[in-house]
Amino acid sequence: MIFSDALRSIRKDFSKAFFYWLIFVLTTMFIYLFYNISMSDPSVNPLNDTGNMITYVMIIVIILCSIDILFANDFYVKPKGKDLAVRLICGGRFIQIASFLMIQTILLLVLAIPLGIALSYLCIPGVNAILAMSNHGFAVTAHPEAALNATVIILYVVFWIVLLNLSFAYRNAVGLLMNPSTITGSTGEDTFNVAFIPRKAKQIASALLFVLPIVVIYMNRNLAVIAAIAGLVGLNGCFKHIIVPWLNKRVSGKWIEQPRMVAALGFVRRDLIVLKNNIFLFLACAIILVSMLVNSLDNDIAMMTILLSYLVMTFLQALALMFKFGTEVSLRRRLYMTLNHIGYMHEDQEAIVKKEVKYVYGFILAITVFYVFNILFAYTLAGDLSWKLSLALLAGAIVPLLFCQFVNLFLYRKAVFPKLKDEEDAQRINAE
């Protein structure tokens, strides 16, 4: 019974299940490939040689993969909240609901892990071809232990994440059933409100803290990682003291005459508050790995591993952003119905969706390019990095975001403009 319900649930939310499955395939691919790289060189042993840079990268990578799976799981589980609530009210026990979700996840995992390993295995000649170009004689070989390690790590992470998310859903499911429209969350206000500091001073300090680290990177490239982290603190301040207040002022002031902008920017403001942590994670991932990469240019294995980590991690973090954004907008159908009641036409609503997605991703792209470009440019100017590699790394951060923007636009439209069969019927009958 639970098994057939779980299958039905996957079929019902097929597009969400597909993206959830895709995350499993990608994380399996990457962890498997990573293990193979590290196991192919006897000088690199991430499990014993804790001082090795690759060990640090591996820890970062596994943490980021786990965060990614967490967001993917949230994206998949959250819309099932009502389903879970009904099961709870009907007397479902925790173990039954856990089984309902666990069966779905395990089914997707069973389909994802072998494919991930197979695809990763097929990527090894490509990785070797890139390594051969650098002429240092190192080649990646496939190791059976890598498949086992990757599988164990993925299963372990997924098991705990499903339980963690389920506990959250368990507590909130009934409340959700009672009042599904309630949005709770931060309004972007200060957690530690330092009211005695004038607002202008906070704004200037935040802007300086965001921009000055770039100057530091140009002056001393070795400080790239620390400066970039300081820049993130500055960005956090800019969020609270500049961006959100600026949006507040514009939405109810200058742009009040433009109905599409009023609606779209209100949504953008909410999105930025909801996505803030993901944006930071994406930036941190891109900046830290780029900085580590440019500091490892003299070590081919480390460079190759970090380069690979950078490319896959920016992609996975962009996917995490996409999932978070997708989860947020999947609950917006009601809001669009309200816009319809107020008098926004379908074409206005389409334009609002496009504007919102464009502005959210535009913002993320702008701040990412600002930091990653400057770090890369500083190294390229000093001759440490070739222009080609710099551009490839920059593209490594931009392309995943553009891909996710496209997917989010598709998911958003699907969530807020479902096909209205009755309306179509009525139009057909009236035409007849």
Partner 1 sequence: MSENIVLEAKHLKKIYNYRTPNAFEALHDVNFQVYDGDFVAIMGPSGSGKSTFINTISTIDVPTGGRVFINQKEIRTMTENEIGKFRYENLGFIFQDFNLLDTHTMFENIAMPLSLAHVNKEDVAPRVNALAEEMGIQDLLQKFPYECSGGQRQRVAICRALINRPHIIVADEPTGNLDSANSAELMGILQKLNQQGVTIVMVTHDPLITSYSTRVIYIKDGNIEKELAKGNMSQDEYFQKIVEMNSEESREILKK
- The piece of 47-55, 72-80, 197-205, 267-275 that touches partner 1 (CB under 8 A) is 267-275
Among 95, 178, 342, 366, binds partner 1 (CB under 8 A): 342
Among 235, 335, 353, 397, binds partner 1 (CB under 8 A): 335
Place of tokens 């701040």: 367
- Residue 263 is a binding residue for partner 1 (CB under 8 A): yes
Cβ proximity to partner 1, 220 vs 340, nearer residue: 340
In this structure, what token pair is assigned to residue 150?
């990757």
- The piece of 56-64, 74-82, 113-121, 423-431 that touches partner 1 (CB under 8 A) is 423-431
Whether the CB-CB separation of 364 and 279 falls below 8 Å is answered with yes
Rg of the chain, C-alpha, whole Å: 24
Cβ proximity to partner 1, 136 vs 254, nearer residue: 254
- Min separation Cβ 319 and partner 1, Å: 24
Cβ proximity to partner 1, 202 vs 250, nearer residue: 250
- Residue 235 is a binding residue for partner 1 (CB under 8 A): no
- Min separation Cβ 162 and partner 1, Å: 29
- The piece of 30-38, 202-210, 285-293, 421-429 that touches partner 1 (CB under 8 A) is 421-429
In whole angstroms, give the CA distance from residue 53 to residue 46: 9
Cβ proximity to partner 1, 222 vs 252, nearer residue: 252
Cβ proximity to partner 1, 93 vs 334, nearer residue: 334
Q: Could you tell me which residues come within 8 angstroms of residue 402 by beta carbon, excluding any fewer than 6 positions away?
A: 361, 365
- Residue 426 is a binding residue for partner 1 (CB under 8 A): yes
Spatial CA neighbour of 283 closest among 252, 262, 314, 258: 314
- Residue 334 is a binding residue for partner 1 (CB under 8 A): yes
In whole angstroms, give the CA distance from residue 302 to residue 126: 18
Among 45, 52, 172, 248, binds partner 1 (CB under 8 A): 248
Q: What DSSP assignment string belongs to 127-168? A: HHHHHHHTTS-------HHHHHHHHHHHHHHHHHHHHHHHHH
- Residue 270 is a binding residue for partner 1 (CB under 8 A): yes
Cβ proximity to partner 1, 113 vs 251, nearer residue: 251
- Residue 259 is a binding residue for partner 1 (CB under 8 A): yes
User: Residue 220 region, left (φ>0) first, then alpha (ψ -120 to 50), else beta?
Assistant: beta
- Residue 343 is a binding residue for partner 1 (CB under 8 A): yes
Among 34, 75, 267, 379, binds partner 1 (CB under 8 A): 267
DSSP 80: G
User: Residue 109 region, left (φ>0) first, then alpha (ψ -120 to 50), else beta?
Assistant: alpha
- The piece of 51-59, 138-146, 248-256, 370-378 that touches partner 1 (CB under 8 A) is 248-256
Place of tokens 């742009």: 255
DSSP 221: G
Tell me the site size for partner 1, rule CB under 8 A: 42
Among 63, 337, 382, 402, binds partner 1 (CB under 8 A): 337
Cβ proximity to partner 1, 388 vs 421, nearer residue: 421
Whether the CB-CB separation of 154 and 28 falls below 8 Å is answered with yes
**Binders of partner 1 in range 174-203 (CB under 8 A):** 181-184, 187
Q: Could you tell me which residues come within 8 angstroms of residue 15 by beta carbon, excluding any fewer than 6 positions away?
A: 411, 414
In whole angstroms, give the CA distance from residue 283 to residue 374: 13
Cβ proximity to partner 1, 55 vs 248, nearer residue: 248
Task: Give me the phi and psi of 188, to 5 degrees please.
Answer: 90, 10
In whole angstroms, give the CA distance from residue 57 to residue 424: 54
Cβ proximity to partner 1, 66 vs 248, nearer residue: 248
In whole angstroms, give the CA distance from residue 206 to residue 126: 44
Among 26, 61, 140, 251, binds partner 1 (CB under 8 A): 251
- Residue 344 is a binding residue for partner 1 (CB under 8 A): yes
Whether the CB-CB separation of 162 and 73 falls below 8 Å is answered with yes
- Residue 254 is a binding residue for partner 1 (CB under 8 A): yes
In whole angstroms, give the CA distance from residue 113 to residue 165: 21
Spatial CA neighbour of 394 closest among 365, 417, 422: 365
Whether the CB-CB separation of 295 and 224 falls below 8 Å is answered with yes
Residues that bind partner 1 (CB under 8 A): 181-184, 187, 248, 251-254, 256-259, 262-263, 266-267, 269-270, 334-335, 337-348, 421-423, 425-427, 429-430
